[in-house]
C-alpha cells in the first residue's frame, strides 16, 4: 500500500473569466501556502514535492518553503474549466455564472456535458483527463519516500470520484468543497485507488485564520 498527499493550490485570481487571468496566486493564496508549509515542517516530512505546471500550482509549491526537491508534472494540471464553460455556452446555450448560486448549478452541467462527450472539438475529453491524472498518481507512488502533490480542485475531486464511484451530482458537491491549500490523502492498493482523507485544513483551523478558508 502506498500513500500520497495532495493539496489544492492557494487562492488564485477570483472572478477571472479566462485561464491566463486566473492563473496566479493572490496575496492570500501565498499566505495560505506559507501557513501550510509551516504546519508540514513541524508535523510531516516530505521527500519530494511534485506540482502541476500551472503558475498557481508552482507558486503554491514554492510558497510552502519546504526543503524537499520540487519537480513539475503537467499531468496534474487542472481541467480546462474555462474552455468547458465556453463549450457549454456554445453547445447548450448555458451562460457563464455570475454568482455563487449560479456557479453551483452551472458546475454539474459542465461536468455532465464533459463526461458524456457533449463538448466542442479540441478540448481534452473526460476519459483523457482521468487517464493522465491516474498515470501521474501511479508514477508518483513509485518514487522513494513521502511525496506531496500540488494540484487543483478538478484533479482532487475526480480522484475522489473514482475512488468512491460517485455520480456527477456528488462529484459537483466534492468539487465545491475543496478549500484552497486543503490536504487530501489517497492510497493505492495494487491498482485500486482509495480515499483516506479529504479536505483537511489544519493550518487554517485557528480563530484568527478562519477568514482564510476560501473555496472560489
Choose the most confident range, by mean pLDDT, from 3-17, 66-80, 183-197.
66-80
The pLDDT of 143-162, averaged and rounded, is 95
pLDDT for residue 16 is more than 80: no
How far apart (Å, rounded) are the C-alpha atoms in residues 160 and 171?
Answer: 8
Label residue 155 by pLDDT band (50, 70, 90): very high
- Region at 150 (left for phi over 0; alpha for psi -120 to 50; beta for the rest): beta
pLDDT for residue 1 is more than 70: no
pLDDT for residue 29 is more than 60: yes
Do 20 and 104 sit in the same domain of this protein?
no
Q: Which residues make Cβ contacts (< 8 Å) with residue 105, sequence separation at least 6?
A: 97
Strand 192-200 and strand 183-189: pairing? antiparallel
- For residue 182, what is the domain's CATH number? 3.40.50.1240
The residue from 123, 152, 185 where one domain ends is 123
Do 97 and 130 sit in the same domain of this protein?
no
CB atoms within 10 A of CB 102: 12
Do 18 and 102 sit in the same domain of this protein?
no
Q: Which residues make Cβ contacts (< 8 Å) with residue 100, sequence separation at least 6?
A: 216
Do 24 and 100 sit in the same domain of this protein?
no
Note the Cα 27 to chain centre separation in Å. Answer: 19
The pLDDT of 20-43, averaged and rounded, is 94
Structural domain count, the chain? 2
Do 172 and 100 sit in the same domain of this protein?
no
How far apart (Å, rounded) are the C-alpha atoms in residues 11 and 36?
Answer: 13
Query: pLDDT tens for residues 88-101?
Result: 999 999 999 888 88
Do 138 and 169 sit in the same domain of this protein?
yes
Instruction: Print the domain residue range for 105.
Output: 80-123
pLDDT for residue 15 is more than 80: no
The pLDDT of 167-186, averaged and rounded, is 93
Do 63 and 84 sit in the same domain of this protein?
no
* Bigger pLDDT: 152 vs 144: 152
pTM: 0.94
Smallest Cα–Cα separation from 117: which of 75, 87, 155?
A: 87
- Region at 65 (left for phi over 0; alpha for psi -120 to 50; beta for the rest): left
Do 69 and 9 sit in the same domain of this protein?
yes
Q: What angle do CA 196, 204, 107 make, to 5 degrees?
A: 65
Query: pLDDT tens for residues 108-151?
Result: 999 999 999 999 989 999 999 999 999 999 999 999 899 999 99
φ/ψ of 142, rounded to 5, equals: -85, -10
Do 33 and 73 sit in the same domain of this protein?
yes
The pLDDT of 59-84, averaged and rounded, is 96
Q: What cell does 5 get? A: 498527499
Do 173 and 117 sit in the same domain of this protein?
no
Do 108 and 194 sit in the same domain of this protein?
no
Do 33 and 114 sit in the same domain of this protein?
no
Per the CB < 8 A criterion, the answer to whether 46 and 148 are in contact is yes
How far apart (Å, rounded) are the C-alpha atoms in residues 63 and 39?
Answer: 13
The pLDDT of 175-186, averaged and rounded, is 96
Amino acid at each position: 500500500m502506498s500513500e500520497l498527499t495532495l493539496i489544492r493550490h492557494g487562492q488564485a485570481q477570483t472572478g477571472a473569466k479566462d485561464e491566463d487571468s486566473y492563473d496566479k496566486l493572490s496575496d492570500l493564496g501565498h499566505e495560505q501556502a506559507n501557513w501550510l508549509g509551516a504546519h508540514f515542517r513541524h508535523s510531516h516530512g516530505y521527500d519530494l514535492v511534485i506540482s502541476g505546471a500551472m503558475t498557481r500550482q508552482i507558486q503554491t509549491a514554492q510558497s510552502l518553503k519546504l526543503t524537499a526537491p520540487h519537480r513539475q508534472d503537467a499531468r496534474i494540471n487542472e481541467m480546462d474549466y474555462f474552455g468547458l464553460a465556453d463549450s457549454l455556452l456554445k453547445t447548450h446555450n448555458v451562460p457563464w455564472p455570475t454568482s455563487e448560486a449560479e456557479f453551483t448549478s452551472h458546475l454539474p452541467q459542465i461536468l455532465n456535458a464533459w463526461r458524456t462527450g457533449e463538448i466542442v472539438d479540441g478540448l481534452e475529453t473526460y476519459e483523457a483527463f482521468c487517464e493522465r491524472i491516474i498515470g501521474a498518481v501511479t508514477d508518483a507512488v513509485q518514487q522513494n519516500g513521502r511525496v506531496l502533490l500540488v494540484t487543483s480542485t478538478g484533479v482532487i475531486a475526480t480522484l475522489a470520484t473514482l475512488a468512491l464511484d460517485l455520480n456527477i451530482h456528488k462529484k459537483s458537491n466534492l468539487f465545491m468543497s475543496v478549500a484552497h491549500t486543503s490536504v487530501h490523502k489517497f492510497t493505492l492498493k495494487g491498482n485500486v485507488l482509495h480515499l483516506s482523507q479529504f479536505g483537511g485544513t489544519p493550518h487554517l483551523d485557528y480563530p484568527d485564520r478562519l477568514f482564510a478558508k476560501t473555496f472560489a
